[in-house]
Amino acid sequence: MAETHDLIVIGAGPGGYVAAIRAAQLGLKVACVELAKGLGGTCLRVGCIPSKALLESSERYAAARLGLAEHGITVEGVSFDLAAMMKRKDKIVSILSKGVDGLFKKNGVTRYLGRARIVAAGQVVVEGDSPVELAAKHVIIATGSHSADLPGVELDGDRVGTSTEALAYTAVPDHLVVIGAGFIGLELGSVWARLGAKVTVLEYLDRILPGMDSELAAEALKIFAKQGLEFRLGSRVTGARAKGKGAVVEVDGAEPIACDRVLLAVGRTANTDGLGLDQVGVRLNERQQIVVDQHYATTVPGIHAVGDVIGGPMLAHKAEEEGVACVERLVTGYGHVNYDALPGICYTHPEIASVGRTEEQLTADGVPYRKGAFPFLANGRARSLGETDGRIKVLAHGETDRLLGVHIIGPRAGDLIAEAAAAIEFGASSEDLARCFHAHPTLSEALKEAALAVDERAIHV
């Protein structure tokens, strides 16, 4: 006999667990199936949270070693304990994961441990030691993604691995080769470079951070190179494998690179295998992502999908908003996500953050725009922090002045972008931003100045 619910959510990452909680708040009887013991998905277990924990620890180490002298502070004998750093990271993950467990209990979401397979619309089997059959009117697939493969790269879960391994190295590699200069490669490359590894980043394109504003990406490249990361752009990796106690990476037209660890970070692939999607008729696109309409409905009535498993940027907050919108639409008839206001952040030092469209996109779409920029060099707070690298760029519609995009490289860019995301969400103009109070002295004044600069009215530059 199947156990009956109103909604079955498959996957307890940010898309799935948030959808499950919101559905329970709206009065549905909810089951959430997750194959991993810990809740929270990629983001919490092996993604956003552990990477930020290590970024923070390694940044503090680097600051203590190199960043305090200009403040007149002398620190001697700075060292670190990698095992303690890892323990701290694991503790943060464990606390947050248990927190999701607690939220499930508080909201009455029933958790099932095992691998879910859809056998028909509204029918799910949880495979495991003691299989369970579940039935519900609605199913939401939120199974996320895994690190993408690259032909010729032989992952061995040790010397040649993905971000999951790079979040748990037991020793600092002498030489780490990172394949792919996207967010994940640059964040984890930065962690290990700060801790003393030689880091070589191989990127197929002639730029880093594909998809981000190219001017800011070029500035980031210079800053990271100054920090000691070695970049080889236009490098096509043809193979990588463990060799002896290390590894070797083959690059088209270049000498093979001997190193001791390889991190493959060339993107992520949707988790659609083994879910029974073929049998029930859920359509996938050519990238193996689930095809959905604007309300996250798949090609099978009653089955929905959100998060990394569908198209779009693979970001935790995107997955969360989709989970909420999907459930609210099912229960109330309304639910919407404004992708124009979706921020993306690379948590390097300095951080790089972006919301809305880039100049390249606006040019390609033939949208008239005006831009204003302001350097952190001219911001009093950035000066006092000793963090003057970078700038803010504001893009506004050439005729209406409506904000179209904001791109930031600089101190706390990830926090500063929130104001820009809210402004875009509310349909603000650059003048609206420029006329708002921004407390002095704060980094946020740089955003006001960049907005003023759209109209050539910046005061401090």
| Residue 145 binds to ligand FAD (criterion: CB under 6 A) | yes
| Residue 21 binds to ligand FAD (criterion: CB under 6 A) | no
Give every CB contact of residue 269 below 8 A, 6+ residues apart in sequence: 145, 146, 147, 148, 149, 287, 288
| Residue 308 binds to ligand FAD (criterion: CB under 6 A) | yes
| Residue 15 binds to ligand FAD (criterion: CB under 6 A) | yes
The only residue of 8, 13, 172, 446 in contact with ligand FAD, by rule CB under 6 A: 13
**Residues 234-293 contacting ligand FAD, CB under 6 A:** 271, 274-275
Q: Which is nearer to ligand FAD, 51 or 348 (CB)?
A: 51
Smallest separation (angstroms) from ligand FAD to the CB of 273: 9
| Residue 298 binds to ligand FAD (criterion: CB under 6 A) | no
- Cα atoms found within 13 Å of the Cα of residue 96, Cβ hemisphere only: 22
The only residue of 7, 21, 33, 362 in contact with ligand FAD, by rule CB under 6 A: 33
User: Within 10 Å of residue 446's Cβ, how many Cβ atoms?
Assistant: 31
| Residue 36 binds to ligand FAD (criterion: CB under 6 A) | yes
Q: Are 315 and 344 in contact (CB under 8 A)?
A: yes
| Residue 446 binds to ligand FAD (criterion: CB under 6 A) | no
| Residue 317 binds to ligand FAD (criterion: CB under 6 A) | yes
| Residue 315 binds to ligand FAD (criterion: CB under 6 A) | yes
Smallest separation (angstroms) from ligand FAD to the CB of 52: 6
The one segment of 9-17, 89-97, 102-110, 446-454 that binds ligand FAD by CB under 6 A: 9-17
User: How does 286-311 read in b/e, with b if 16+ C-beta sit within 10 Å?
Assistant: eeebbebeeebbbebebbbbbbbbbe
Residue 10 to residues 75, 103, 144, 215, 351, Cα–Cα distance (Å)? 50, 17, 10, 40, 33
Q: Is the peptide bond before 441 cis (omega within 30 degrees of 0)?
A: yes
Q: Which is nearer to ligand FAD, 177 or 373 (CB)?
A: 177
The only residue of 16, 180, 335, 411 in contact with ligand FAD, by rule CB under 6 A: 16
Q: Which is nearer to ligand FAD, 116 or 257 (CB)?
A: 116
| Residue 351 binds to ligand FAD (criterion: CB under 6 A) | no
What phi, psi does 27 have (nearest 5°)? 100, 5
The only residue of 7, 9, 43, 155 in contact with ligand FAD, by rule CB under 6 A: 43
The Cα 311–Cα 3 span in angstroms is 31
**Residues 87-116 contacting ligand FAD, CB under 6 A:** 115-116
DSSP-derived letter for residue 429 is: B
Q: Which is nearer to ligand FAD, 28 or 264 (CB)?
A: 264
Kindly determine how many residues on this chain lie close enough to bind ligand FAD according to the rule CB under 6 A: 37
- Cα atoms found within 13 Å of the Cα of residue 248, Cβ hemisphere only: 6
Q: Which is nearer to ligand FAD, 310 or 373 (CB)?
A: 310
| Residue 48 binds to ligand FAD (criterion: CB under 6 A) | yes
- Give the start-end residues of each E strand in 153-213: 160-161, 175-179, 198-203
Q: Token digits for 319?
A: 């997955």
| Residue 212 binds to ligand FAD (criterion: CB under 6 A) | no
The only residue of 7, 8, 9, 11 in contact with ligand FAD, by rule CB under 6 A: 11
Strand, helix or coil for residue 91: helix
**Residues 149-168 contacting ligand FAD, CB under 6 A:** 163
The only residue of 24, 31, 42, 451 in contact with ligand FAD, by rule CB under 6 A: 42
The only residue of 14, 173, 375, 411 in contact with ligand FAD, by rule CB under 6 A: 14
User: How does 260-285 read in b/e, with b if 16+ C-beta sit within 10 Å?
Assistant: bbbbbbbbbbbbbeebebeebebebe
The only residue of 53, 179, 314, 342 in contact with ligand FAD, by rule CB under 6 A: 314
Distance of CA 160 to the CA centre of its chain: 22
Please report where in the chains the tokens 């752009």 appear, as a residue: 233
| Residue 142 binds to ligand FAD (criterion: CB under 6 A) | yes
User: Within 10 Å of residue 455's Cβ, how many Cβ atoms?
Assistant: 14
Distance of CA 247 to the CA centre of its chain: 28
The only residue of 12, 262, 290, 421 in contact with ligand FAD, by rule CB under 6 A: 12
- Cα atoms found within 13 Å of the Cα of residue 69, Cβ hemisphere only: 5
Active-site residue list: 440
Reference 93, options 32, 163, 167, 165; nearest CA is 167
Smallest separation (angstroms) from ligand FAD to the CB of 309: 6
Stated as kind and residue range, the H or E segment containing 342 is: none
The Cα 418–Cα 19 span in angstroms is 23
| Residue 307 binds to ligand FAD (criterion: CB under 6 A) | yes
Smallest separation (angstroms) from ligand FAD to the CB of 112: 8
Query: What is the contact surface with ligand FAD in residues (CB under 6 A)?
Result: 10-16, 33-36, 41-43, 47-48, 51, 115-116, 142-145, 163, 184, 271, 274-275, 307-309, 314-317, 319, 347
